Amino acid sequence: MKYTKPQVVYHWLTVLMILVMVLTGLAFRFDWTGAWVIQAHQVIGQSLILVLGLRIASRVALRALHQSTHKVWERVASHVTHVALYICMIAFVVTGYVSASGLNTPNLLWPVDQTFARSDTGETLLDWHYSLKWVLLGLVALHILGALKHLLWDKDDTFTHMTLRSRKD
Ligand code: HEM
Ligand code: HEM
């Protein structure tokens, strides 16, 4: 067994939430719709912090279950990409949270100090929040290519590690 059912649910829930975050973030930045969209971005973003916390906690606690039969280079490549994806998601929520604290009326449970959020450091974090979408795009592209390689080229059961249907292992 590679991942437990809750871990599979966390993975796909995270994917869905990130998709919504990218769309609502861009909709706000480029004025595609009304101001409600940045409120939705913050509410879903705070829920994402919770899901991500649960996901990382369950991954750390159940590390021993994650055994692999892949080649060494595949294990290294996927491990590096996975760790980078986790770092990117954490960086997104941290920079986003600080940026949102600098809004006139933040929709946050515990906004950080507004003077800090609007300081030079806060502005830098906002710049990072903008740039991170390109990092995420690159990492997700690599990640999807890896998944497709196993599904279509190697024709092994790697993809089913992240599905809920019954698995051979
Ligand atoms: C994986 C999580 C997240 C993703 C993918 C994401 C994505 C984005 C994107 C694409 C934008 C539009 C700016 C641009 O890049 O061109 C944006 C803006 C913004 N995000 Fe996020 N975001 C995430 C998490 C968060 C969180 C957790 C918060 C706060 C609770 C947040 C608050 C904001 C704010 C306030 C802006 C508008 C900044 C401004 O232009 O003033 N984001 N986000
Ligand atoms: C926002 C998009 C995505 C993010 C952030 C993401 C993140 C991750 C992370 C961090 C892992 C490692 C889990 C762990 O060991 O803790 C993982 C595993 C996996 N993901 Fe994604 N993922 C995304 C989209 C996708 C998509 C679109 C697919 C399918 C094409 C996919 C298929 C898989 C598979 C099959 C695994 C298991 C790999 C293995 O057993 O070694 N992911 N994902």
Q: What is the pLDDT of residues 81-131, one digit of tens each?
A: 999 999 999 999 999 999 999 999 999 999 999 999 999 999 999 999 999
Q: Please tell me the distance between residue 143's alpha carbon and the centre of ligand 2 in angstroms.
A: 7
Compute the average pLDDT of residues 40-67.
89
CA distance 86 to 69: 23
pLDDT of residue 63: 65
Domain of 19 in residue numbering reads as 1-67
Q: Please tell me the distance between residue 140's alpha carbon and the centre of ligand 2 in angstroms.
A: 8
For the CA of 70, the nearest atom of ligand 2: 41
Inside any domain, residue 132: yes
Which of residues 67, 102, 117 is at a domain's end? 67
pLDDT of residue 169: 47
| 5 and 74 housed in the same domain | no
Which of residues 67, 83, 105 is at a domain's end? 67
Inside any domain, residue 165: no
| 93 and 117 housed in the same domain | yes
Inside any domain, residue 63: yes
- Does the Cβ of 62 fall within 6 Å of ligand 2? no
Question: Is the pLDDT at 65 greater than 60, yes or no?
Answer: no
| 85 and 150 housed in the same domain | yes
| 63 and 102 housed in the same domain | no
CA distance 155 to 132: 32
| 98 and 131 housed in the same domain | yes
| 113 and 78 housed in the same domain | yes
Compute the average pLDDT of residues 59-81.
83
Which of residues 67, 91, 114 is at a domain's end? 67
Report how many domains make up the chain: 2
| 79 and 132 housed in the same domain | yes
Tokens of 167: 């698995």
Question: pLDDT tier at 48 (50, 70, 90 boundaries)?
Answer: very high
What is the residue type of 1?
M
For the CA of 107, the nearest atom of ligand 1: 30
Q: Please tell me the distance between residue 104's alpha carbon and the centre of ligand 2 in angstroms.
A: 36
| Closest CA to ligand 2's atom 36 | 162
Burial of 145 (0-12, 13-18, 19+ CB in 10 A): exposed
- Does the Cβ of 76 fall within 6 Å of ligand 2? no
Question: Is the pLDDT at 7 greater than 70, yes or no?
Answer: yes
| 108 and 145 housed in the same domain | yes
- How confident is the prediction for the chain on average, in pLDDT? 93
- Does the Cβ of 78 fall within 6 Å of ligand 2? yes
Inside any domain, residue 163: no
Q: pLDDT tens digit string along 125-142?
A: 999 999 999 999 999 999
